[in-house]
Structure 1
Amino acid sequence: MQTQRVITAEESAHRDTSRQSIADIARFLQDTFSQRLTAFIAGIEDPKQVGKWCAAQNSPRIDSELRLRAAYQVFQTIEHAENSHTARAWMIGMNPQLDDDSPLQAIADDRFKDAMAAARSYIKGDL
């Protein structure tokens, strides 16, 4: 008898993030959080650049891409465990595990591991 392994929310989010183009990720974040907030996450000053990324007219620098992929993956982790409304609220809200910064602020500050650790704690019910 073959045993089927259950895929966790975190594993599913990782797979999904790995399969998405940066244009798709930028588009998702823009649709979910706004063009201005997506630019903030990416660490850029011109929100119109996000629209160009969404249209695949150009690509973000690697540091911006890392932030966008981290934001997408953390969002997907929460969404797979909860729902999109909860994931959005959790991403923009103050988080005590992040010294009251939002997960999006932590990601914009390159604190990817801290944001993911906070997501894991939330899913486990620790916070």
Structure 2
Amino acid sequence: MTDWRTVTNTLVDNLGTGLVSLIVGVAPETIIRWTKGTSANPREANERRMREAFRIYLELAATDSPHTVRAWFMGSNPELGNDSPAEALSEDRFKEVFAAARSFQA
């Protein structure tokens, strides 16, 4: 399993602090503390959102540019009721987002 700081830094480097903050449901300042290792690991629900987002990010980044993947996370998605994947992840709709990611890759 990938360590917490690597997960956090990868997402922040590629999606940005604001988008990661939206996905996880914490303040941007908390995300920054996680990247620096100056804050304790998150609560279980927040860590799950972050790890699911990381898994989806890695899957999409294997075939698309980081810029394209970031745009996908932010964009309105008809398969998610026109919510963005980031919004859907923040609501713990993991299976729906994975299905939308696979459809995007196809």
TM-score of the pair, normalised by structure 1: 0.76
Instruction: Report which structure shows greater RCO (CA 8 Å, sep ≥6).
Output: 2
Task: Please identify the structure whose Cα radius of gyration is greater.
Answer: 1
**In 2, Cα distance between equivalents of 1:33 and 1:81:** 16
**In 2, Cα distance between equivalents of 1:47 and 1:84:** 21
Q: Choose which of 11, 15, 35 in structure 2 pairs with 1:33.
A: 15
Check the 8 A contact 2:14/2:66 in 1, yes or no.
Answer: no
Percent of paired sites with the same residue: 33
Instruction: Give unpaired runs (5+ residues) of structure 1.
Output: 1-17
Matched residue count: 105
Q: Which runs of 4+ in 1 moved over 3 A?
A: none
Shift of 1:84: 1.5
Shift of 1:34: 2.4
Shift of 1:87: 1.1
TM-score of the pair, normalised by structure 2: 0.89
The AA in structure 2 aligned to 1:59 is: N
Q: Give the match for residue 102 of structure 1.
A: 84
**In 1, Cα distance between equivalents of 2:85 and 2:59:** 12
Q: Give the match for residue 48 of structure 2.
A: 66
Q: Deviations over 1:10-47 (max 9, x none)?
A: xxxxxxxx3x2111111122222222322221112x22
The AA in structure 1 aligned to 2:31 is: V
**In 1, Cα distance between equivalents of 2:63 and 2:47:** 24
**In 2, Cα distance between equivalents of 1:75 and 1:91:** 9
Instruction: Give unpaired runs (5+ residues) of structure 2.
Output: none
The AA in structure 2 aligned to 1:56 is: G
